[in-house]
Amino acid sequence: MAEKGASRSVRALEQAAGMLAVLAASKVVRVGWRRVTGAEPPAAPDDQQVPLGRAVVWTLLLGAAITTARMIAIRYAANLLPRRQREALAAGQAHSPDTPATSA
């Protein structure tokens, strides 16, 4: 996740990477479920028509895949910008007109 003093652009990059990772992980897990089970994944695991074991396995599998993919994507995105550029962006934001001036 973005550090406390990270610039908006760094946070936006991390969040965009996280969202793309969620979409990709969801698609991969759905395709994998179809290949392994030969059936469609549960559309609504909380539906009473879906057997409890199948709903639990689907929920655990999807949750673990999404959380892991998002974490990896955010860590990777944070390292995309060179360190000096991240520091310059953070320093530039500190001196931007949006930031309240501090009085000495």
Q: Kindly state whether residue 54 falls inside one of the protein's structural domains.
A: yes
SS3 of the chain: helix, strand, coil, percent, to 5: 65, 0, 35
Which domain does 66 fall in, by range? 8-93
In this predicted structure, what is the pLDDT of residue 56? 92
In this predicted structure, what is the pLDDT of residue 104? 44
In this predicted structure, what is the pLDDT of residue 93? 63
In this predicted structure, what is the pLDDT of residue 10? 78
Q: Pick the closest to residue 71 from 9, 15, 28, 26 (CA basis).
A: 15
Evaluate whether 51 touches 95 at the Cβ level (below 8 Å).
no
Q: Kindly state whether residue 100 falls inside one of the protein's structural domains.
A: no
- Weakly modelled stretches of the chain, pLDDT under 50: 104
In this predicted structure, what is the pLDDT of residue 8? 80
Q: Kindly state whether residue 66 falls inside one of the protein's structural domains.
A: yes
Number of Cβ within a 10 Å radius of residue 17: 20
Q: Cα separation of 7 and 88, whole Å? A: 9
What is the model's pTM? 0.68
In this predicted structure, what is the pLDDT of residue 2? 52
